[in-house]
Amino acid sequence: MENRFKQINLCMIEDFKQFLKKKGLTQTTQKNYLTDIRSYLGWAARNEICDTRDVIRDTFPYTLPEIQNWFNQTMITSFKNWLVLSQTPPATINRRLSGLRQFGNFLVKSGWLKENPAKKITGARNTGHETREKIWGQNMLKEFGQALKNEGQKETTIKNYLGDVRQYLGWAEGRESRGK
């Protein structure tokens, strides 16, 4: 992780730290959860989900619409997928998700969110070749669908094309598992 992301000292992070202390968690667990949220925030900034300058200057978005923009089920799933594709060990992925769940609990308890989006994210079970390929395929399908939409294709056409590609991928996967 780059040094500038290690220096994050946000009011929200400090409030989260106090939240963890009040829960009676061990120092190690608190440290790990803070590292997890900093990792997520760094990933979000690097992927332009939030402004890196805001993270560094202590002016990280602190309004409800902005929090919902960078802390939602889609973004957390994307973060998890990035960890899987980066070949992060499953135990580390699951700990990071646990830290994000705690952060979501903090946001709900603080009144920033009504519901914790991180609770809906399942843990990592298998980060092997098959899972990485499946995630890669899902991402490619989304990009293909968006490209078709950008070309002005009708929703039914997009749906049909994506269905055809999924059917082909299923056939190819079955063929590969049969050794043909």
Q: Which residues contact 96 (CB under 8 A, 6 or more apart)?
A: 36, 39, 40, 79, 80, 83, 88
- pLDDT tens across 42-91, in order? 888 777 665 545 444 444 545 666 677 778 898 899 899 888 888 888 88
Return the closest-CA partner of residue 15 out of 121, 98, 92, 109: 109
- Both ends of the chain: CA-CA distance in Å? 43
Compute the distance between CA of residue 29 and CA of residue 128 in angstroms, rounded to an integer: 27
pLDDT at 63: 62
Q: Is the pTM of this model over 0.85?
A: no
- Using pLDDT thresholds of 50, 70 and 90, give the confidence band for residue 105: very high
Check residue 123 and report its DSSP letter. P
- pLDDT tens across 15-28, in order? 889 999 999 999 99
pLDDT(123) > 60: yes
pLDDT at 148: 87
